[in-house]
Structure formats: C-alpha cells, structure tokens
C-alpha cells in the first residue's frame, strides 16, 4: 500500500476532521472514500450520464455539472456548478486543481 504525505489548508483540514469524526472513520478512510466517489462520478460523466439531486421535500431537482463538462475553462470557473430547475445559473464551488 502506498503511503502519502499531503498538505491541507486549515479549512480542508477542518472538513477532513469533521467528516472523520461524524462517520467515526480514520482520516485515511475518508480520503479513500472521497477518491472512490470522485472516480464513480467521473465514470458516470464519461458515460454521458447526468448526476441529478432531488429535494425530497419540494421535488426540485438540481443537475451537477463538472469542470470537464464546462466550456469555460478559466481558472476562476467553478469545478462544480448547479443547474437548478432548468435555469442556467452556476454557483461557484471554489475547488482548486
């Protein structure tokens, strides 16, 4: 098994800590799950599938649009944008590459 060292911003460290604590998992396992989730989402997008979230209370749906699907590739463009209820409104996610 590979051993990695990584640097996290204080914000990302807080996120990792919160996820590990709330799920009662080691941080390494949280990161493994995050990578598997990212791989799954990338595979779905590559297979031309949409990723849709549905609010069970309102029935409203949101389509996730990933950076690889965006035509605007400027660095300030969000990695993930939401297209809610058929509108073209994009929300910045602030993810860095």
Put simply, whether the predicted model's pTM sits higher than 0.75 gets the answer no
Give residue-wise pLDDT tens across range 28-84. 999 999 999 989 998 988 898 889 999 999 999 998 887 766 655 544 434 444 443
Strand order in the sheet with 61-66: 51-54, 61-66, 80-84
CA-based radius of gyration for the chain: 16
Please answer whether residues 62 and 83 qualify as being in contact, where contact means their C-beta atoms are separated by less than 8 angstroms.
yes
| pLDDT of the residue at 95 | 33
| DSSP structure class, residue 47 | T
Domain spans of the chain, in order of start: 9-48, 50-97
Q: Tokens 């996290």 — which residue?
A: 8
């Amino acid at each position: 098994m590979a051993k990695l060292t990584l640097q996290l911003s204080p914000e990302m460290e807080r996120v990792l800590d919160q996820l590990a604590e709330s799920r009662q998992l080691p941080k390494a396992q949280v990161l493994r799950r995050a990578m598997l989730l990212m791989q799954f989402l990338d595979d779905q997008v590559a297979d031309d599938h949409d990723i849709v979230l549905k609010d069970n209370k309102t029935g409203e749906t949101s389509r996730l649009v990933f950076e690889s699907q965006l035509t605007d590739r400027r660095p300030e463009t969000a990695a993930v944008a939401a297209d809610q209820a058929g509108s073209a409104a994009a929300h910045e996610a602030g993810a860095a590459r």
